Amino acid sequence: MSNDEEVTLVSKVSPASFAKTLEVKSEPEHVEYRVLVNLSYDGKQVPAGDVVSDIPKSSIGWLLDGNYIEKVS
């Protein structure tokens, strides 16, 4: 996977990702993730390498599973 790849968040969740999403919902509100590929969500573009804390919680599970983001805090 290259940093030039862009991922747009949509609502498609596998059972494993759904379980991980449930775990994420129980975490503290301010969790930061490093974006490993360019992401688009909520009308914003986030380049690879940026650290963000506003990724939709319903997408965090599959983004972690796909190695599109990594937890930094």
pLDDT of residue 18: 57
pLDDT digits (tens, 9 = 90+) for 20-69: 555 555 555 689 999 999 999 999 999 999 999 999 989 999 999 999 99
Residue carrying structure tokens 């790849």: 5
What whole-number distance in Å separates Cα of residue 31 and Cα of residue 11? 21
| Residue 5, pLDDT above cutoff 70 | no
Say what the pTM is: 0.64
What whole-number distance in Å separates Cα of residue 14 and Cα of residue 2? 23
